[in-house]
Amino acid sequence: MDIDSLTPAQRSALDQLQALTNGGDPEVAIGVLSSVDWDVQRAAEVVFDGVPPPQTTQPEAPRIEQFEVDDSEQGLLSGRSSGREFRPVESNSVSGLVIRPIRVVLNVLAIPLYPLFTLLRFIFRALRLPVPNFAPFTFSTLGYRPLGPSQGREAKDPKSVAERWVRALEEETGAICISRSGQRRTSGDGRGVASGVAGPSTLNARGGTWDDVAGERDSKLLPDFFLGSYEQFVRTCQKDMKIGCVVIVSEEHDNVAEFKRSTLTDPAFVRIIQENDILVWGGDIRDREAWSASQKLQATTYPFVAFIALQPRRAPAAATPPAPTMTILSRHQGPCIPSTSAPTAAQTLVTHLTENLLPRVNPFLDKLRAQEAERDRERALRAEQDRAFEESRRRDAERAEQRSREERAAIEAKRRLEEAEARARAELRKREEEKRQWDEHRMAWRRWIRRGLVVREPRPGEAARGKTMRVGIRMPDGRRVVRFFGENDTLTAFYAYVDSLFIPPEFIQDADPTTPPGGKTGEDGLVAEMSRSGKAPEKWWGFQIFLAYPRREIAWEAEKRIGDVEALKGGGQVVVELVQDNDGKKGKGKGKGEASGEDEDDEYHTESE
């Protein structure tokens, strides 16, 4: 098709596509446009993303975000659709056969330039200078987007595209985003913290305040950019009730480079953006999101800056006020020079924000936030009341069930208690009977031991019993007894004498039995009785004997001489202590003149006392 035969509308579409693709063959551009029914947006998708053209030419209903607009310095804006929105298309195209070989050739030719570009970038960054444009390539264009359309998943991911554009902006301006320099203020609203791959985010941030870096004049800063799609950015501004700043550039415009270096890095502009918590989103119209945003915002030249926020809808005075809607507050587009009066100069934007936009918008947003906070409190109160009601109903049901369980449990507990008491009484009677039988059995042995195993005290000159030993005995009831033993007397005789002191006075010695209950007499009979009872010697005797000082146990051993007991050599003072029975009670044994069994004074006294 000849260029001269094009209609004015077709010629305008051709000019727009050539402006986006840096010129190019008009015949190829005409072929791409004709394959998509002269839709510039679809043609841009075919060129940049390799999307095949549609098989049918039936136009799809435009999807454009509608804004109600407020009057600004540029005048009243309408929310009409421009008809150039991005629309998904599905079909084949021969344009990819032209674009891909060109891209491959250019990428191969650019390989030798990468080391040089890397060295120059290092030098300029070390000197804190902005990276200049090296035609036909720059670090930003090479690092941000290779020549030709981007392919793969990352190229279509809005977050990745936005982050790549921000990184390229940092390299080109020699500045760094506030969040990455650790200089963002700690507002606690989550700005500057990546929220994950699936959702929108901004660059990672560390803590700090703006005043912490007020004196660092050498560092250049950029605002924190929202990393995500344009629609996500608008929804975030609407949800958080914040002012949004949209920055759109085009590398084909001569004013863009100066705008990046002077306006976006201006300290006053960055500070007012940061202090007023304004969300910033940016992009290049070569990207789908930035192109779509430029069409929705009706940008006509670049650089382009727009401020958006929630504003009340216009409605008749008598009508109920409708819900607020996202509104274009102002648009600024064109050169940034001169710095005092240009539409996109930093001073112009700061003056507009401080004198017009913020005083007009902030009161309404503060009111919305207060209303939302009040609604949140009301919702929380209603939710708390609902929870309280459900909790009360649940507790009532639980109380009724608990009473029923308690009644059944009380009946069962009473039955079990009666059974347990009956078993306890039977067990107590059984233990008492066993103890009574053991006490009777043990008293019978005591009485026989007093007759058969207790030896008399040695007489003077009785050499057969060896050297006489004087032993002082302190009983558990406080009695003190002094007894003489021969060195050759057995330890059993000593224990037998102590055991006889536990016999009550009503049992006279003359009535003691002549034979033990087991029938076998002597020390052998005593040993056999202990073996039959299954008790340890101290359990069977019911007491233990200790040397008073130093405290040392004198354990009973069969057929052992008193003279062989190291603790009793030469006599001494001993203490008798009761041994607990199996039921945890100390064995009883009251002798003549014994005090109450509860008197268990452990004081030790020598014989001289």
Tokens encoding 306: 């727009």
Q: How far apart are CA 482 and CA 479, in angstroms?
A: 10
Q: Is residue 461 left, alpha or beta, with left meaning phi > 0 and alpha meaning psi from -120 to 50?
A: left
Quote the pTM value.
0.46
Asked if residue 303 and residue 176 are part of one domain, the reply reads yes
Q: In the 8-state DSSP scheme, what is residue 59? A: P
Domain assignment present for 408: no
Strand partners, 553: 546
- Residue whose C-alpha is closest to residue 31's, from 58, 6, 62: 6
Within 13 Å and on the Cβ side, how many CA atoms surround 594?
20
Q: How far is CA 9 from CA 16, 42, 127, 181, 284, in A?
A: 11, 16, 50, 49, 25
* The domain boundary residue, chosen from 19, 34, 49: 49
- Residue whose C-alpha is closest to residue 587's, from 574, 597, 602: 597
Q: Are 291 and 86 in contact (CB under 8 A)?
A: yes
Q: Find where tokens 């002082």 sit.
A: 472
Whether 59 shows a pLDDT value over 60: the answer reads no
Query: How far is CA 276 from its chain centroid?
Result: 31
Domain assignment present for 572: yes
Whether 55 shows a pLDDT value over 60: the answer reads no
Q: Which residues contact 211 (CB under 8 A, 6 or more apart)?
A: none
Asked if residue 236 and residue 340 are part of one domain, the reply reads yes
Q: Are 487 and 465 in contact (CB under 8 A)?
A: yes
377-403 residue pLDDT tens: 999 999 999 999 999 999 999 999 999
Asked if residue 298 and residue 162 are part of one domain, the reply reads yes
Amino acid identity of residue 267, one-letter, is P
Whether 274 shows a pLDDT value over 80: the answer reads yes
Q: Which residues contact 320 (CB under 8 A, 6 or more apart)?
A: none
Q: How many CB atoms lie within 10 A of CB 342?
A: 21
- Which of 91-100, 264-273, 388-397, 535-544 comes out lowest in average pLDDT? 91-100
Query: How far is CA 557 from its chain centroid?
Result: 68
Query: Which string of DSSP letters, residue by residue, matches 360-406?
Result: HHHHHHHHHHHHHHHHHHHHHHHHHHHHHHHHHHHHHHHHHHHHHHH
| Average pLDDT of the segment spanning 574-595 | 59
Q: Which residues contact 78 (CB under 8 A, 6 or more apart)?
A: 69, 298
Q: Are 309 and 329 in contact (CB under 8 A)?
A: yes
Domain assignment present for 101: no
66-115 residue pLDDT tens: 344 443 333 333 344 433 333 333 333 444 456 557 766 776 777 777 77
Q: Are 64 and 85 in contact (CB under 8 A)?
A: yes
Given pLDDT bands bounded at 50, 70 and 90, which one contains residue 523?
Answer: confident
| Average pLDDT of the segment spanning 267-288 | 94
Domain assignment present for 342: yes
Task: Write down the mean pLDDT value for the chain.
Answer: 76
Given pLDDT bands bounded at 50, 70 and 90, which one contains residue 565?
Answer: confident
Q: How far apart are CA 110 and CA 104, in angstroms?
A: 10
Q: In the 8-state DSSP scheme, what is residue 604? A: -
Whether 148 shows a pLDDT value over 50: the answer reads no
User: What proportion of the chain, given as a percentage, has pLDDT over 90?
Assistant: 35
Query: How far is CA 445 from its chain centroid?
Result: 74
| Average pLDDT of the segment spanning 452-456 | 86
Q: Over 224-242, what HEC string results?
A: CEEECCHHHHHHHHHHHCC
Q: Find where tokens 């006020």 sit.
A: 321
Given pLDDT bands bounded at 50, 70 and 90, which one contains residue 593?
Answer: very low
Q: How far apart are CA 418 and CA 406, in angstroms?
A: 18
245-258 residue pLDDT tens: 999 999 888 889 99
Helix 288-296 crosses helix 158-173 at what angle (to 10 degrees)? 90
Given pLDDT bands bounded at 50, 70 and 90, which one contains residue 147?
Answer: very low
Domain assignment present for 561: yes
Asked if residue 355 and residue 229 are part of one domain, the reply reads yes
The residue ranking higher by pLDDT, 152 or 157, is: 157
User: Residue 499's domain is classified under what CATH number?
Assistant: 3.10.20.90
Amino acid identity of residue 487, one-letter, is E
Tokens encoding 54: 């549609």
Asked if residue 464 and residue 346 are part of one domain, the reply reads no
Q: Over 279-344, what HEC string results?
A: EEEEEECCCHHHHHHHHHCCCCCCCEEEEEEEECCCCCCCCCCCCCEEEEEEEEECCCCCCCCCCC
For position 209, what pLDDT does the model report? 53
304-362 residue pLDDT tens: 999 999 998 876 655 567 788 999 999 999 999 888 889 999 999 999 999 999 999 99
Q: How far apart are CA 553 and CA 544, in angstroms?
A: 7
Q: Which residues contact 200 (CB under 8 A, 6 or more apart)?
A: 159, 226, 227, 228, 229, 232, 233, 236
Q: Are 44 and 17 in contact (CB under 8 A)?
A: yes
Domain assignment present for 375: no
Domain that holds residue 9: 3-49
Structural domain count, the chain: 3
Domain assignment present for 250: yes
**3-class state of residue 247 by DSSP:** strand
Q: Are 251 and 260 in contact (CB under 8 A)?
A: no
Domain assignment present for 65: no
Asked if residue 462 and residue 353 are part of one domain, the reply reads no
Within 13 Å and on the Cβ side, how many CA atoms surround 140?
24
Tokens encoding 390: 């459900």
User: Residue 270's domain is classified under what CATH number?
Assistant: 3.40.30.10
Q: How many CB atoms lie within 10 A of CB 143?
A: 16
Residue-wise burial string across 69-86, b where 16 or more C-beta atoms lie within 10 A, e elsewhere? bbebeeeebeeebeebbb
Q: Is 537 exposed, middle or buried (0-12, 13-18, 19+ CB in 10 A)?
A: middle
Q: How far apart are CA 104 and CA 125, in angstroms?
A: 30
Amino acid identity of residue 494, one-letter, is F
Residue-wise burial string across 206-232, b where 16 or more C-beta atoms lie within 10 A, e elsewhere? eebeeeebeeeeeebbbbbbbbbbbeb
The residue ranking higher by pLDDT, 10 or 128, is: 10
Q: Are 545 and 491 in contact (CB under 8 A)?
A: no
Whether 599 shows a pLDDT value over 70: the answer reads no
Q: How far apart are CA 342 and CA 297, in angstroms?
A: 20
Cis preceding linkage at 136, omega within 30: yes
Asked if residue 346 and residue 229 are part of one domain, the reply reads yes
330 φ, ψ to 5°?
Answer: -165, 155
User: What proportion of the chain, given as a percentage, has pLDDT over 70?
Assistant: 72
